[in-house]
């Protein structure tokens, strides 16, 4: 009877250890981290699944959704993700607190990785903005306190991918800024140049602040998703940055610092261009209706 009871206990222990990922027993304060893993090449979850490791614990992603959940010690600072056919990617975690649930969002992996660099500046003064949080494809860092420069290492990249990586910059007192990482890569590094942030001037800043506005029309098509490439000077070979039209009526607004610009509007095979000179952030410029041909 004792032998049978012992076998039952062993079987129960094996059953428990096989659920919810592997790793040693947890002791002390823990937090729950969760997120979704996507392939840079397809923008889809990996199948076979990806393996996620953090704080001595292991889990696999869901092959349909790419999601995972993993309970780790609050002292955990990094998460490592890999899948068949990809390299290993390490992502930094924000500080964890006991019993906290942290959603890491989308974490991208792939066969290639690059470094993405740039500088965060104040849109009005053009001075560096330090300690801004910069995130791109699951990687995160902060801009240098004195220079505003940032470097994101180990960013998953696919040169044949149809979707350009899009990131975000956040800094208290400034409007959050989206940016597109679509510059040429030299020796494994993509340089984005200066990315301006607009100071929040009230508790309820306008939904689409800007000193340049207009309306995009795409005959027989929805203007949403039209890409606006911003070149400065107008003769530049590559755009300084790109933004996307998000309003169903085609309206857009941009913040452009004083200078000369060429704007290229692209959706599918249809394009249009406009050149303009910005003399002041406080002087609005209306480009009117822009029809893509």
Quick one: pLDDT at residue 23?
66
Q: How far is 178 from 185, CA to CA, in rounded Å?
A: 20
Total count of domains within the chain: 3
8 A C-beta contact, residue 50 and residue 109: yes
Of the candidates 227, 216, 240, 236, the one whose C-alpha atom is nearest the C-alpha of residue 267 is 227
Report yes or no: 156 and 110 within 8 Å, Cβ to Cβ.
yes
Q: Are residues 146 and 169 in the same domain?
A: yes
Report if residue 48 sits inside a domain: yes
**Structural domain includes residue 4:** no
Question: What pLDDT, on a 0 to 100 scale, did the predictor assign at position 15?
Answer: 36
Residue 54's pLDDT band, with cuts at 50, 70 and 90, is: very high
CATH of the domain at 64: 2.60.40.10
For residue 132, give the 3-state DSSP assignment. Answer: coil
Q: Show which of 55, 78, 108 is a domain's final residue.
A: 108
Task: State the pLDDT at residue 217.
Answer: 93
Q: What are the angstrom distances between the C-alpha of 281 and each of 198, 201, 209, 244, 273?
A: 11, 14, 11, 21, 21
| pTM for this prediction | 0.63
pLDDT digits (tens, 9 = 90+) for 213-231: 999 999 988 898 899 999 9
Choose one of 197, 221, 248: the last residue of a domain: 197
- Highest mean pLDDT: which of 103-107, 198-202, 235-239? 103-107
The two tokens of residue 202 are 């009230």
User: What pLDDT is recorded for position 24?
Assistant: 66
Inter-residue contact 183 to 169 (CB < 8 Å): no
- Band of residue 35 on the pLDDT scale cut at 50, 70, 90: very high
User: Across all residues in the chain, what is the average pLDDT?
Assistant: 85
Domain of residue 125: give its range: 112-197
Looking at the structure, tell me whether residues 185 and 232 fall in a common domain: no
Query: Which residue, 108, 126, 141, sits at the end of a domain?
Result: 108
Distance CA 4, CA 1 (A): 5
- pLDDT grade, residue 87 (50/70/90)? very high
Among 209-213, 219-223, 262-266, 269-273, name the one with the lowest average pLDDT.
209-213
Closest CA to 182 of 120, 231, 143: 231
Mean pLDDT of all residues in 125-143? 94
Burial 19-38 (b: 16+ CB within 10 A, else e): eebebeeeeeebbebbbbbb
Domain contains 103: yes
Taking residues 61-82, report their average pLDDT. 95
Q: Is residue 277 part of a domain?
A: yes
């Amino acid at each position: 009877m004792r032998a049978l009871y012992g076998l039952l206990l062993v079987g129960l222990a094996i059953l428990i250890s096989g659920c919810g990922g592997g790793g040693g027993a947890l002791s002390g304060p823990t937090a729950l981290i969760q997120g979704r893993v996507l392939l840079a090449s397809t923008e889809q979850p990996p199948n076979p699944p990806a393996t996620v490791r953090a704080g001595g614990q292991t889990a696999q992603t869901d092959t349909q959704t790419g999601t995972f959940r993993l309970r780790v010690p609050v002292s955990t600072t990094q998460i490592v993700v890999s899948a068949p056919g990809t390299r290993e990617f390490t992502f930094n975690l924000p500080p964890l607190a006991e019993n906290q649930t942290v959603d890491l969002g989308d974490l991208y992996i792939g066969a290639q990785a690059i470094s993405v660099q740039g500088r965060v500046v104040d849109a009005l003064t053009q001075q560096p903005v330090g300690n801004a949080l910069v995130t791109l494809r699951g990687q995160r860092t902060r801009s240098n306190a004195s220079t505003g420069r940032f470097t994101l290492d180990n960013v998953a990249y696919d040169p044949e991918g149809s979707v350009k990586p899009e990131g975000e910059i956040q800094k208290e007192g400034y409007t959050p800024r989206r940016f597109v990482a679509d510059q040429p890569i030299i020796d494994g590094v993509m340089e984005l140049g200066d990315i301006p942030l607009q100071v929040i001037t009230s508790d309820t800043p306008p939904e689409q602040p800007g000193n340049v506005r207009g309306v995009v029309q795409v005959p027989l098509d929805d203007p949403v998703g039209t890409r606006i490439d911003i070149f400065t000077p107008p003769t530049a070979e590559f755009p300084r940055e790109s933004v996307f039209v998000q309003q169903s009526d085609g309206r857009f607004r941009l913040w452009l610092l004083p200078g000369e610009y060429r704007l290229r509007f692209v959706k599918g095979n249809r394009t249009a261009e406009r050149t303009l000179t910005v003399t002041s952030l406080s002087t609005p410029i209306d480009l009117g209706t822009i029809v893509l041909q």
